[in-house]
Structure 1
Amino acid sequence: MNFIQAIILAVIEGLTEFLPVSSTGHMILASSYMGIASDPFVKLFTIVIQLGAILSVVVLYFKRFFKTLDFYYKLIVAFIPAAVFGYLLSDKIDELLESPMTVAISLVIGGFILLFVDKWFSEPTIHSEEEITYLTALKIGFFQCLAMIPGTSRSGASIVGGMTQKLSRKVAAEFSFFLAVPTMFAATAKKLLDFYKAGHTVSHQEVQILLVANVIAFIVALLAIKSFIGFLNKNGFKLFGWYRIIAGIIIILLIYSGHDLQII
């Protein structure tokens, strides 16, 4: 992986991590097109650049993270299902990550759900984070676990989960962003631990690549989150639904045309 490839992937990460379109699916297409070989550093890279995206949430919602302890308690409760199932099903998740067809099918199914989710949950009763109960947070956490199926989209699963619990689109999206912080920190920490336990090391150039990529992902994610909230309030999820369906179909067509798609 060179610097140009790293920057492109960082832009993709920043754009797609918090949108309900699956960053994994986009990584497949981009990495396949650029011919990036899968190796331990590349796999580490795709997880660690999430740190930049995480910081964008903390910066944008800085005051919310220092408001009350109750805010943190809700995030912990919502994070528990992902922590438990992620630990218990880690081997199965790794198997699914080897299947581009799984990603494609998940994109299409999730796309059809997004086409209708605004109609299904059109009468929200929760319009602020303070109104979310611990039980509601836990239920949203279980929905987030669906994202362990590659192509589902962590943000998409948790946003839809929030809407099933009567959260408004805006509140569901923002809680999804907040929940990403502990979830992605944990995923990054585990990936780093596994990387070094396996005896791998990073070179000076690879450290530079990680730093640059995180800065890029941070800047792009800032813009993506602000734009997404505004777009969501005006237009809902339908456009994202069609986008997912088209992306999934493209991956399926590439697979059947003989392209060797690798999930990095």
Structure 2
Amino acid sequence: MIWLTAIILGIVEGLTEFLPVSSTGHLILATELLGYDAAKWAVFNIAIQPGAILAIVVLYRHLFWDMFVGLFRGDRQAIAFVRNLLLAFFPAVILGLAFGDYIETLLENAVVVAWALVIGGFGILLVERFAKPEESGGVAAMSVRQSIVVGIVQCLAMIPGVSRSGATIMGAMALGVDRKTAAEFSFFLALPTLTGATVLQLFKHRDAITSNDLGLIAVGAFVSFIVAWAVIKAFLAIVTRYGFAPFAWYRILVGGAALIWLAMR
């Protein structure tokens, strides 16, 4: 059963990591629904994120290679691309180090997740209704101000259930960035953010992780990679055509159902 749990949580991670529905929130609710100890699986849920990250690397490998080569050539677009990602990444580093222990306690609270899903869903609907995004010209064309503000907004996702991708995408759109660029900026920002969070958690809990745990993490990460690879391609097609409202209503329904279920337990 423990290996089946790792596979299930890997599927949940891959399905939700890059959608504006909160992967961490869904993983916490999944452990509650399945009757598992949320505290026991909290580190596992973070440790399998590199699988989903790898899906971004594979799908955008040509772009990343061009930016990497461009840096050594002094290409202005490559420099702006890396600059924007770093500017958006630093706020999470600062707050993550400052409030890491408090954030870990929230990872065990399913009620917080449910409320965050509902509130975040209405937040997405408001941004979709009032934001006036324009063609931005890609991640490298975003301004320093836009990058910094998106990085600050990303910090809201330290509350489980808010959604890192949802916060960054909606934050970018509120600043006038078009849907596709906002989504891709969120994808790319996941690389340093989720990698840093994973390394930090594994280091902090290194004494509690056994060789069997490493096997479970490997399985969960592999499953999340396969699922995320398929989800990312479909996600861009959906938001380009329908926007983010379907995900907002999904959040509201799931969060509301979770609140009712948690209250009746």
Normalised by the size of structure 1, how large is the TM-score? 0.91
Shift of 1:99: 2.6
Residues 54-79 of structure 1, C-alpha deviation per residue, up to 9 Å, x if partnerless? 00011111122122432222211110
Shift of 1:39: 5.1
- Given that 2:28 and 2:108 are in contact with CA atoms closer than 8 Å, whether structure 1 keeps it comes out as no
Of residues 200, 210, 215, the one that matches 1:202 is 210
- Once residues 208 and 92 of structure 1 are traced to their aligned partners in structure 2, the CA distance between those partners, rounded to angstroms, is 28
Q: Aligned to 1:20, what secondary structure does the other structure show?
A: coil
Residue 127 of structure 1 is matched in structure 2 by 137
Shift of 1:16: 0.2
Residue 142 of structure 1 is matched in structure 2 by 152
Of residues 128, 148, 156, the one that matches 2:166 is 156
Shift of 1:125: 4.3
Of residues 234, 238, 241, the one that matches 2:241 is 234
Relative to structure 1, is the Cα distance of residues 138 and 131 closer, same or farther in structure 2, using a 3 angstrom cutoff? same
Shift of 1:214: 1.2
Residues 145-181 of structure 1, C-alpha deviation per residue, up to 9 Å, x if partnerless? 1101111000000001111221100000000000000
Residue 217 of structure 1 is matched in structure 2 by 224
Q: Indicate yes or no: 2:11 matched with 1:7.
A: no
Gaps of 5+ in 1: 259-264
Residue 59 of structure 1 is matched in structure 2 by 58
- Once residues 109 and 3 of structure 2 are traced to their aligned partners in structure 1, the CA distance between those partners, rounded to angstroms, is 27
- Given that 1:54 and 1:181 are in contact with CA atoms closer than 8 Å, whether structure 2 keeps it comes out as yes
Relative to structure 1, is the Cα distance of residues 49 and 138 closer, same or farther in structure 2, using a 3 angstrom cutoff? same
Q: Indicate yes or no: 2:255 matched with 1:252.
A: no
Q: Which is helix-richer, 1 or 2?
A: 2
- Once residues 255 and 150 of structure 1 are traced to their aligned partners in structure 2, the CA distance between those partners, rounded to angstroms, is 16
Q: Aligned to 2:230, what secondary structure does the other structure show?
A: helix
- Once residues 145 and 32 of structure 2 are traced to their aligned partners in structure 1, the CA distance between those partners, rounded to angstroms, is 41
What letter is aligned with 1:157? A
Residue 74 of structure 2 is matched in structure 1 by none
RMSD: 1.5
- Once residues 131 and 233 of structure 1 are traced to their aligned partners in structure 2, the CA distance between those partners, rounded to angstroms, is 19
- Given that 2:92 and 2:154 are in contact with CA atoms closer than 8 Å, whether structure 1 keeps it comes out as yes
Q: How many residues align?
A: 254
What percentage of aligned pairs have identical amino acids? 43
Normalised by the size of structure 2, how large is the TM-score? 0.91
Residue 29 of structure 1 is matched in structure 2 by 29
Q: How does 1:104-115 map to 2 (within 5 A)?
A: 104-115=114-125
Residues 29-58 of structure 1, C-alpha deviation per residue, up to 9 Å, x if partnerless? 321222222455x22211111000000011
Residue 198 of structure 2 is matched in structure 1 by 188
Deviates more, 1:131-140 or 1:183-192: 131-140
- Given that 1:55 and 1:218 are in contact with CA atoms closer than 8 Å, whether structure 2 keeps it comes out as yes
Gaps of 5+ in 2: 72-78
Residues 90-122 of structure 1, C-alpha deviation per residue, up to 9 Å, x if partnerless? 233223333322211111111112223222113
What letter is aligned with 1:21? V
Residues 126-150 of structure 1, C-alpha deviation per residue, up to 9 Å, x if partnerless? 1312211222211110010110111
- Given that 1:81 and 1:141 are in contact with CA atoms closer than 8 Å, whether structure 2 keeps it comes out as yes
Greater RCO, 1 or 2 (C-alpha within 8 Å, sep 6+):
1
What letter is aligned with 1:82? A
- Given that 1:116 and 1:238 are in contact with CA atoms closer than 8 Å, whether structure 2 keeps it comes out as no
Q: Aligned to 2:205, what secondary structure does the other structure show?
A: helix
- Once residues 236 and 148 of structure 1 are traced to their aligned partners in structure 2, the CA distance between those partners, rounded to angstroms, is 24
- Once residues 210 and 23 of structure 1 are traced to their aligned partners in structure 2, the CA distance between those partners, rounded to angstroms, is 16
